[in-house]
Amino acid sequence: MSAAVPQIALVPGGVSLSAIVAGVWRMGEWRQDVPARVRWIEQVLELGITSFDHADIYGNYAVESLFGEALMAAPGLRERLQIVTKCGIKLVSDARPTHAIKSYDSSRAHVTASVEASLRALRTDRLDLLLIHRPDLLMDPDELAATFDALQQAGKVRAFGVSNHAPSQLAMLHRRHALVTHQVELSPLQLQALSDGTLDQCTDLGLRPMIWSPLGGGRLFTGRDTPTRRVRAVLEELGRKHGVSAAAMAYAWILRLPAQPLPITGSGRIDALREAVSALDVQLSAEDWYRIWQASTGHEVA
């Protein structure tokens, strides 16, 4: 296993994940049979990436099962990796016939049932990290914290966090049960987490955030709008300077932040994951970081 990707404790003494996390949201689109899925996981591990990001809803509630089939086919894999998954979004789906409308649910009954379903689908006896996927406007923080306590005591979930929450929502839950991460969207094209207090809060609380869509959902390399063109040009220029790809520079821009985020990849291509790993060796100066920020915003700092 590569030593290039360190294991990072999300909080001191807590659950550790690899500094780059492999996202499997699109695994259902990769059209892999079970042996191909096993080989893909093995190749990711060979890069030093040991953490895999799931959600119960991915692939219309199918991706966890696809991953679980691979773990069942190669039982030794489970002890070499960490599983992150999310719950709390209820989609209208044939896979969940009791869901009448799309909604959010952080009730004890739903979270507990979601964990049990994820454990079955993933063919495992525990989750390394469970996140509440979206903020439920009806969340009872005391009930949810008690649910976390029960799942942790039962050994079914090692640690908990949230995803896409406002700082006030995270704080309300964190006061009742210690969270370890906040998974949020951030890229050179999506800067909101830099200005709305989300990453400041993570730094203040000592939580290591996880970053989804670090390449703007691919828009960094396909978008034709002016801000995207500006950002892409700067990433390409800096990539040539550092001897890495423009994608690696986008990851390096995220890794430069004081909150010390863990970016989540979104591709099934091993070369794309290798690009993310290469960003760990990039020493990005503050001025170059701001060059990328300026290309995105279209103006200098005030």
Question: Tens digits of per-residue pLDDT, 229-284?
Answer: 999 999 999 999 999 999 999 999 999 999 999 999 999 999 999 999 999 999 99
Residues in the chain: 302
Task: Inform me whether the pLDDT recorded for 2 exceeds 80.
Answer: no
Strand partners, 82: 51
Question: Tens digits of per-residue pLDDT, 75-134?
Answer: 999 999 999 999 999 999 999 999 999 999 999 999 999 999 999 999 999 999 999 999
d(CA 234, CA 106): 42
d(CA 88, CA 103): 8
Sequence spans of domains, the chain: 7-297
7-297: what fold?
Answer: TIM Barrel (3.20.20)
Task: Inform me whether the pLDDT recorded for 1 exceeds 80.
Answer: no
Q: Where are the beta strands (DSSP E) in 71-113?
A: 82-87, 89-90, 103-104
Extract the tokens encoding 114: 């979601």
By annotation, the residues acting in catalysis are: 58
Q: Which DSSP state fits 212? A: E
Task: Using a cut of 0.85, tell me whether the model's pTM lies above it.
Answer: yes
Contact at 8 Å (CB) between 73 and 38?
A: yes
